[in-house]
Each structure stands twice: as C-alpha cells, then as structure tokens.
Structure 1
Amino acid sequence: MTPTIAVTGSTGAVGGAVAALLADSGTPLRLLVRDVGRAPTIPNSDVAQCSYGDPDASTEALRGVDVLFMVSGAESATRLDEHRTFVDAAAAAGVRHVVYTSFFGAAPDATFTLARDHFHTEQHIAASGVDHTFLRDNFYADVMEHFAGEDGVIRGPAGDGRVSLVARADVARVAAVVLTDPASHAGRSYDLTGPEALSVAEVAAAIAEVRGRAVTFHDETLDEAYASRATWNAPDWQNDAWVSTYTAIASGELSRVGDDVERVTGRRAMTLREVLNRA
C-alpha cells in the first residue's frame, strides 16, 4: 500500500517543487496550507487547511498521513513554539515519519541565530517518537542576488568567510527521494550544500557576471551592520538574524562542502552560476 504523504509549504519555492516532483511520479499527496485558495493545482492530491500554531486543525489535517514533509515555518519570534505544536499534532495524528527542512550546522550555539531554532525543533521531533530525517540546508543560492540593495551592494560582516550555497531545486530533489522511500533514510541527517564554497565577494562577482550589472560586496563592521538595518525598525531578534547571516559566514561554520545531494539523488548539486542561469 502506498503511504500517504503530506506536504507543507506547497505555496512556496521548496514545498511547491517537492509537491510537483512527487506528483510527476504519481504519488498521492495531501497539501497542507494556511489558505486553501492559494493551494497549487497538483494532480492526485487533496488539500487540508491548518497552521503550525493550531493544534486541533493540524491534528485533523494530518489524520491518515504516514509521511510528513515539514518545511520550517516563516521566521518569527514564536516559530519554535509553533514547530513544537505542529510536531505534537503530527505525533497525535499517527504520522510515522517526519522529513524536516532544518539548517546546515544546526546547534544550540550556532552563530546564525535561527539555526538554534532548527536545532531545538530537531530535538523535539526526535523526542516525539516518530521516525525522522533532517535536511540541513545551507543558505539558498537562489536568494543571494536579493541581498543586494538598490545600489547593487551586498552589505554585511562576512569578511573573507565562505559559504557552500545550495539550490532550492536540489533540496527539493533530495526531499522527493527521501519521501518516497522514508524507511531507507530514517534517523539520518543530510547536510545539503552546493559543490563549492564561495566568499560573499565571489558571490557578488558571479551575480554581476551572469546578470550583466554591477554587484559588489561591502564588508561591514558589526556596528555598521546593525546601524544600516536600523531604518527598517525590526525587532531585535530579526536584526540579530539578519546580521548573523553574515557573521555565520565569517565564522567558517558554513563553508564545508558536502556530497549528500549527489549521494541521495545520484546527481551533483548545482553551482551558483548554474542556479542564476537557470532562473
């Protein structure tokens, strides 16, 4: 009997790509969305409404689901609590296996502040008693060009640190493989990276080359980084997350290049230039 697979985040880039890949293989799906009106049209699927912070709706939406693809929730001060609520709902509904999009180097003392939330979410999933697989994605190659301001400058205290950016399409390919054969990946954590580690200056140069416009990197001090973001009037946790995106790169914590994408899917991960050209 084919297991019932539920996919969260199908209105987003990663979840949407995973749903499309599974649909192409003929796998029956349940799409879990906050807004039913925004759910994509996916063959051989049904749609259920819930949000991570609503335990009753989540438990009901997850009934009959064997395998759950859980995309990490939107960044917020309450995200970890919402993750825990949703995981508890999955366990209560009888979900057998959770595949969770975590973060590369997730740890309680990670430099990137949001990686700490991912670590604690992993711990909660493991403690729930369900089988699990963690996809520890590095920063997404697809979004790096959006880090540049209107003047074409990427600003942050990254120094000469390097980061092994991963394509969202590669994360989706790994997820689709795991979801269709979860037992083979139970208890595993995969570090999902691209095939190269680039400095932010090199990232800027690649974007400039492919896009044919001026893009450069300015290495801010910590004080400059917080000052340049003060105009957005964001809460402290958000400013810390934005700044630690760069300090995590500077620390070297995000520089390791792994081969888990290729080992799981049989195809190597894309480079930044390939991602940019594909877009």
Structure 2
Amino acid sequence: MTGHDRAPGSRIDTSKPHPARMYDWWLGGKDNYPVDEEMGRKLLAIEPRIPIMARANRAFMQRATRWLAQHGITQFLDIGSGIPTEPNLHQIAQRTAPEARVVYCDNDPIVLAHAEALLRSTPEGRTAYLQADVRDPADILERARDTLDFTRPVALSLIALLHFITDEDGAYDLVDAFLQGLPTGSYLMLSHGTGQFTPKGAAEADELYKNSGITLALRDRHEVERFFHGLELVDPGVAVIDTWHPELGEPVEGQQDFQPMPGFGAVARKV
C-alpha cells in the first residue's frame, strides 16, 4: 500500500541552491539546477572529496537501516528524506522485513515531484510521503499515524539533516520532541557532518553556505552525542560514519583515501 499528500502551491525555487539538490548533484543525479551545480563546484574547490562523503553517508543509512530491520524494527519515519536515490530506505528495510512500513517526510517541492519513487512498497509493507517541515514535529507525528502504529517501536531517521539546523533554531529540542512522541523501544538513527577534522575548510564552507542563504551547523563529536542524551547507544556509539558496522555493507570507492571521514553516525534505543 502506498500514499502521499501534496502541499498546494508548492513551487521549486531555482534562484538559490538547495542542499538536497546539491547532494543529488554530488551523487551524480539529474534532479538539480545550474544554481545547485555552481554552489556544488564551489564547495568541491574547498573539499574535492565531498562526493565520496555523500556516498559514504548514504552507505551509513543503508547499514543502519539493515541493522534495525535485522533487530526487529519494521517501522521507520525518515525526515529530510531528500531526492530519491536507489536503494531507498524502504527498499533496504523491506529486503529484510517485507512487511516494513516507512513514512518519508521532506519540505522540498522537488522531492514531492519525485515522491512516487518512494512509494513502491512490497505488497506486505507500506510507504507514504508527507510534505512537511521538520520544525513541526507535532504535525509530522500526527500525520504519520495514518501509516505507522505508534503502539510499536519506530525508527526515527535523521540522515544528514541536523547540520542545517542551528542550536538557536532548537535542533536538540526538535529531536527531543520527535522522540517523546515515539514509544519505548523506538530508535534514533542519525548522521551529521562535522568540521572537527578539517576546521579551516569547514569555516570556508560555512561562509559559502551563509552567503547563499543556507544555514550550516557542523558539530563535533561531543555535540552530536548530545542528540542521544538519555538513549541507549548501539555499539560502537557515535562513530565516524564509515566505521559504524562496516560489515553490514560494501565499502564506498575512495573512502580509504578520505580519512577520517568528516561525519558522525549512530543508532540508539529509547529506553
């Protein structure tokens, strides 16, 4: 079963770059515009290995989803899902658990335009797409109930999202609000960019994003760990993304030349 709801009046703004479309360009996709490629190239001039980082982040999502499905989690709420890139989260989960249900959520009209690719569920499972903003947890949780059973554990997926939300905008409070709405036994899976290993390049990227009207909030390991306060971290805890359970996936080409990978990832259980 599949379903999605549309926000009336949504239009794609091609006058300024968008993180999801730049991510798509780095991954070799076609759902981006010249303004996104221009910004993407400027960032590549600062750090030419960004496409490797983008693929490694995607690979972390796949491994974390596979781990959760193998440990009995069959419901996922993926916020900031981005432009569909196969394999998508539901495809990974449903390979292990065909009955898995996945709700995707994003607020970019270009993601909405391609939402059908996120809705090709197995007959036993179900997927849905919500056009909504991460800054409204109550709305997302309420609408997700149409697909997910909140009497059973849900995995909250926040992949490469929170480094676009500052502390001042309430990044930690948003995560807490989502987790409070989920039952005990639910999980948080999260990846997050960091400037901890490359402070000079991170400062240059921050300035470039700022000049393009995009907020960037790279965090160090300690700051990322704060998102998991009160949760039970799965070993090895908050780790550089390519070192989190590498046995669950294939290595990304070129990642051996990109050490340490400038991003953290972790999975943790609500107790």
Structure having greater relative contact order (Cα 8 Å, sep ≥ 6): 2
- TM score, norm. by length of structure 1: 0.42
- Give the TM-score taking structure 2 as reference length: 0.43
Larger relative helix fraction: 1
> Which structure has the larger Rg?
1
